[in-house]
A = this chain, B = another copy of it.
Amino acid sequence: MIEERYFEEYKLGAERRTLGRTITETDVVLHAGQTGDFYPHHMDVEWCKTQEFGQRVAHGTLIFSVAVGMTAGAVNPVAFSYGYDRLRFIKPVFIGDTISARVMIAEKREHKRPDHGMVVERLEVVNQRGETVLACDHLLLVRRSSRSAEPETGTAGAVGLDRTPG
């Protein structure tokens, strides 16, 4: 469960999928309690009946956090999470919806630290109807293997050509 995986070992276009998880009322209530966000969109059944969706909507940060957790696999001690880009809440997730996540290696970039590279994982969360509800790009800073401490010039360009639509 702890596996070193170097920059060179991330394959562009490689994809993995998680199992599913149903977002429950419990998840929404616990997330409100953890974050202090008790907006009526998440907490007030009666008010929601008067709104566009007619029912409570899960917090965006809940779906994002659960999705990130779902994709946590083996610990990679030579990588660390740099951040996220273009996090988008594409469709609402309702109580009772079941989500799963798909992660694809969408891009590999040079980084100013010559012994590291940036891996961009495209994360998409899909519901039980096959609709994408959330998407984001996860930026992973990953050490290069000792064999290739020299920046592999050209790699970024090649990656650019292969760049997934992500």
Question: Which A residues are closer than 8 A to B by beta carbons?
Answer: 1-2, 18-22, 24-27, 29-41, 43-47, 56, 59-62, 64-66, 68-70, 72, 75, 81-89, 96, 98, 128
Contacts and interface: CB of A to CB of B under 8 A. Distances in A.
A83 B86 contact: yes
Contact of A69 (B22, B36, B40, B81): B36
Copies of this subunit: 6
A34 to B, nearest CB: 6
A64 B136 CA distance: 14
Those 9 A-B pairs whose CB atoms lie nearest each other, nearest first: A33-B33, A35-B69, A61-B65, A83-B88, A37-B69, A26-B29, A20-B44, A84-B87, A22-B45
Given A26-B30, A60-B68, A61-B61, 8 more contacts: A25-B25, A29-B30, A30-B34, A31-B65, A36-B36, A37-B72, A64-B65, A84-B87
